[in-house]
Amino acid sequence: MKNSTLAKLGIKTGFLSVLLSFAILLIACNPTTSDTMSPSANWSVKLTLSGGFAGLNRSISLNQDGQAIYIDKRAKSRVEKQVTQQDLQNYVKLVKILPVNQALKPKPTRCNDCINYVLVASFDGTSKRRTANDLTLGSSDANELIKNLTMLASEMAAKK
């Protein structure tokens, strides 16, 4: 009787071991959303702000390591900052989902006092470029990324 019970238990234990191994294999081979949006992917982004009535000439760049560099050429200042992991996740998501081709080409606008934005982003070897100004930024497919980078630049400028 004991041998029969142990044999049944052995079969169940063996079956559970195989099932557990299969589940682990599936989990390991199936990338999750967080894996595909990993900040360790090869990416970078740079936003240049120029013009406006104050004659801005600034840039903010950020790479996959979370290193942000703010440069104000007029004030001849440079500030470096390490962004948080949470912010880095947000930036990599925005860079990754930005289409390669600009969805809506901005019409040339005559705005002498507008700030001009030039965004250059790269994700896994694919380069993406956007241009906008204060009048066209709202309709740009890079609006959220440009606004977030502009806020980061403002925070860093306050620390110079």
Residue 39 has pLDDT above 90, yes or no: no
DSSP letters of the chain? -HHHHHHHHHHHHHHHHHHHHHHHHHHHHS--HHHHT-TTSSEEEEEEEEETTTTEEEEEEEETT-EEEEEETTTTEEEEEEPPHHHHHHHHHHHHHS-SS-SSPPPP---TTPEEEEEEEEETTEEEEEEEETTTGGG-TTHHHHHHHHHHHHHHHHT-
The CATH class of the 37-158 domain is: alpha beta
Q: How far is CA 119 from CA 9, 11, 22, 25, 60, in A?
A: 64, 61, 45, 41, 10
The β-bridge relationship of strands 77-82 and 67-72 is: antiparallel
Answer yes or no: is pLDDT of 107 > 90. Answer: no
Task: Summarize the confidence of residues 117-123 as an average pLDDT.
Answer: 94
Residue-level pLDDT at 41: 75
The domain spans of the chain are 2-30, 37-158
Find, among 131, 144, 140, the residue nearest to 48 by Cα. 131
**C-alpha span between 108 and 111 (Å, rounded):** 9
Cβ(112)–Cβ(55) below 8 Å: no
- Does pLDDT of 10 surpass 60? no
Token couple for 58: 């600034």
Neighbours of 134 (CB within 10 A): 15
- Would the pTM of this model clear 0.85, i.e. be above it? no
Which one has a higher pLDDT value, 52 or 102?
Answer: 52
Q: What pLDDT shows up at residue 100?
A: 85
Please state, rounded to an integer, the average pLDDT across all residues of the chain: 80
